[in-house]
């Protein structure tokens, strides 16, 4: 796997020391506490129509040395999660037990943990993240500019004027994912990615921070989508007026 890029080096806290501190703190948090926080996040996301059906997946690192992380198993309903719906995986993304079925998005979570130093990765599959990830796929991403909400993103020491959200072609191959991440513009700080037709992946140093980032991006994606719809209606109205 390629060496972690500058893009993700300081994504969580703005410094290596801060990242190390967050990792030590999370490792001291009981696994049951982390899972309960993920269960609460899943319930909240489902209530907001971001993880309907069995869509979405939630993961969190429980150990860095050796790497171990928990993730929702394939087909788990995010509105009614229990501790039994979580699997513990190793550094290769393999289950720590037989007959267990990780979600298809496991490689994405593992890549964000390894490449971006993420402690928690949350994947939502809302209407707006699905539509916009397809609409802007050919552009390789979309730019969010001038929104006050951007100031709530993790590591934002000053109010950011814009945020680039890369869009990846839908793949679950680890080597392809790493190569795509390495191609991101390292001068741009990011807090999330979109997967074409598959929604949003956002991360943070703990569950609370990752949830906050998801909320911010889901809000801004809906704003962008509704704005595009309004502008299209205005354009249609103006064309209709010209024809009359």
User: What's 229's DSSP letter?
Assistant: H
- Amino acid 226: pLDDT: 94
Please report the pLDDT score of residue 155 as a whole number: 61
pLDDT tens-place values along the chain, 244 residues long: 434 444 553 444 333 444 555 555 555 678 999 999 999 999 999 999 999 999 999 999 999 999 999 999 999 999 999 999 999 999 999 997 777 888 989 999 999 998 888 999 999 999 999 999 999 999 999 999 999 899 898 665 666 688 999 999 888 787 788 778 766 655 567 899 999 999 999 999 999 999 999 999 999 999 999 999 898 877 655 555 566 5
If we measure between CA atoms, which residue out of 105, 104, 106, 112 comes closest to residue 93? 106
pLDDT reported for residue 235: 62
The confidence score (pLDDT) of residue 219 equals 97
The whole-number pLDDT of residue 204 equals 94
pLDDT score, position 19: 54
- CATH architecture of the domain 6-243 equals 3-Layer(aba) Sandwich (3.40)
SS3 call for 144: strand
Domain boundaries, the chain: 6-243
The pLDDT assigned to 207 comes to 97
- Burial class of 98 by CB neighbour count within 10 A (0 to 12, 13 to 18, 19+): exposed
pLDDT at 158: 62
Tokens 């991360």 belong to: 203
Tokens of 218: 């889901």
């Amino acid at each position: 796997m390629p060496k972690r890029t500058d893009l993700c080096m300081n994504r969580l806290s703005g410094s290596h020391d801060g990242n190390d501190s967050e990792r030590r703190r999370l490792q001291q948090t009981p696994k049951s506490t982390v899972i309960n926080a993920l269960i609460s996040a899943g319930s909240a996301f489902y209530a907001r129509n971001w993880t309907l059906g069995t869509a979405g997946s939630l993961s969190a690192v429980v150990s860095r040395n050796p790497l171990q992380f928990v993730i929702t198993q394939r087909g788990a309903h995010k509105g009614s999660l229990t501790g039994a719906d979580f699997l513990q995986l190793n550094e290769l993304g393999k289950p720590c037990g037989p007959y267990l079925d990780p979600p298809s998005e496991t490689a994405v979570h593992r890549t964000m943990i390894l490449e971006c130093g993420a402690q928690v990765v949350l994947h939502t599959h809302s209407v707006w993240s699905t539509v916009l990830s397809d609409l802007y796929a050919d552009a390789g991403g979309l730019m969010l500019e001038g929104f006050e909400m951007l100031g709530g993103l993790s590591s934002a020491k000053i109010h950011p004027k814009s945020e680039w959200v890369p869009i990846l072609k839908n793949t679950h191959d680890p080597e392809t994912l790493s190569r795509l991440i390495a191609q991101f513009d390292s001068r741009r700080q990011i807090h999330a990615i979109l997967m074409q037709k598959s929604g949003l992946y956002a991360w943070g140093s703990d569950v609370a921070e990752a949830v906050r980032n998801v909320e911010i991006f889901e809000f801004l994606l809906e704003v962008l989508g509704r704005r595009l719809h309004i502008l299209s209606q205005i354009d249609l109205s103006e064309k209709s007026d010209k024809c009359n």
